[in-house]
Amino acid sequence: QVQLVESGGGLVQAGGSLRLSCVASGRTFSNYDMGWFRQAPGKEREFVASVNWSGGNTDYADSVKGRFTISRDNAKNTVYLQMNSLKPEDTAVYYCAAIITGWGTSVRVSDYDYWGQGTQVTVSS
């Protein structure tokens, strides 16, 4: 069983920054491929960013490319999402997720095995 706990959300003005963290349980975090997703009210959960087990490969949604950066620290069992130049349309609950099967990262919700409880990010205009 893998537990994921997100933190770092909050209220920020447009143009501001936040850093989300996600701490994972388990001794094999370095084997997991990780992703960040978000879900705004009335919308489906959508892919934001992913990072492979080593941190060497990352992927981003077009809407956040150049503004968000995903990274990981395997010694701390933690994955991060640095969010800069935030926009009101970034407002959502942000979730981290893990793929433990070793198949690699994915943009699809259904490919992820474990999910955190989410953290709210609100960007005011």
- pLDDT, tens digit (0-9, with 9 covering 90-100), for 34-54: 999 999 999 999 999 999 999
DSSP state of 111: G
| Distance of alpha carbon 62 from alpha carbon 57, whole angstroms | 16
- Name the 3-class secondary structure at 89: helix
What region, left, alpha or beta, does residue 67 occupy, with left being phi > 0 and alpha being psi -120 to 50 degrees? alpha
Q: How many CB atoms lie within 10 A of CB 89?
A: 11
Q: 28 versus 37: which is more confidently predicted?
A: 37
pLDDT number for residue 40: 97
The answer to whether 33 and 105 are in contact (CB under 8 A) is: yes
Residue written as token pair 């003005």: 13
pLDDT at residue 91 above 80? yes
pLDDT number for residue 102: 81
pLDDT number for residue 27: 73
pLDDT interval class at 103 (50, 70, 90):
confident
φ/ψ (deg, to 5) at 52: -80, 180
